Amino acid sequence: MMQLYRQVCIETSRLITQRYSTSFTMGIRAFDKRFRDPIYAIYGFVRFADEIVDTFHDYPKAQLLTRFWEDTHRAIDEGISLNPVLQSFQEVVNAFHIERELIDAFLRSMEMDLHENTYDQSTYEEYIYGSAEVVGLMCLRVFCEGDEAYYDSLKAPARSLGAAFQKVNFLRDLKSDFDDRGRIYFPGVDFTNFSAEDKIMIEEEIRQDFDHGYQGILRLPEGARFGVYLAYVYYLNLLQKIKRAPASRVAEERIRVNDGRKVVLLFSSAVRNSLNLL
């Protein structure tokens, strides 16, 4: 019966991913089967932590996040949890030796969202590391399957790719982050006077992250490479769409890639992968 419980828990994480993110679900389905459930488990964990700070407005967010943090440590230490998301996550953490430092850095970034509204360069870099780069490193732990030297060689580009994804999200969600949460993540940027110069500077920073991250994608194991490449293509396409829009539109509208375009990207990427053109 324990196997049934474990299966129900991972199915919960899988459902969370499918309901919250069509783009990440598309990428995960492209992984070799052995990688899919561990990545679903990681996504379910980070998604629910993010929900605490971004959605539970009528509840004591700080207390809930502290409790979630404590429950996460307890689940990892004891190897069991009645929370299905934490049950799946602790199995992955313990199986792939994901460092506690990565988990705590992620949860600290969630905690920052409870208190920080504007960021200087130092807190911006701390937030990017905790909210995105460490998630890439958690996934990399899974992909490298215990090969420490392989993991170390891919850490830097994995961090860059995670940072690129997060910064694109910041640009896409510029209006909602400011209107709904009072947040401006980009240091030195005035939302009320978001200029073309601000936008170009941010886009160039993201381009550099993407270029570095792409070099790591090429060196991923075969069973993970195509799935990560799909996420890369989606976010790069979103960035290109943002780049074509004036700064005033980016500040007033959530720019997105429609589902039809996502299908086109899936098939074109599959063709490039099959022809070994990544």
Neighbours of 167 (CB within 10 A): 23
pLDDT (0 to 100) of residue 189: 86
**Mean pLDDT, residues 203-217 taken together:** 96
Tokens of 64: 């809930």
pLDDT (0 to 100) of residue 275: 44
- Residues 141, 165 contacting (CB under 8 angstroms): no
- Torsion-angle region of 257 (φ positive above 0: left; ψ -120 to 50: alpha; else: beta): beta
Neighbours of 245 (CB within 10 A): 15
Is residue 277 very low, low, confident or very high in pLDDT (cuts 50, 70, 90)?
Answer: low
pLDDT (0 to 100) of residue 26: 80
What ranges in the chain are assigned the alpha helix state H? 2-20, 22-29, 33-54, 61-78, 84-96, 100-115, 121-128, 134-144, 148-172, 174-181, 196-217, 222-244, 247-250, 259-274
- Residue pLDDT, tens place only, 135-177: 999 999 999 999 999 999 999 999 999 999 999 999 998 888 8
- Residue pLDDT, tens place only, 243-264: 999 989 988 888 777 666 655 5
Tokens of 215: 């070099």
Tokens of 199: 């936008």
Q: Enumerate domains of the chain plus CATH numbers.
A: 2-274 (1.10.600.10)
Would you say residue 219 has pLDDT above 50? Answer: yes
- Residue pLDDT, tens place only, 21-52: 877 888 898 899 999 999 999 999 999 999 99
Average pLDDT value over all residues in the chain? 90
Would you say residue 270 has pLDDT above 70? Answer: no
Neighbours of 15 (CB within 10 A): 13
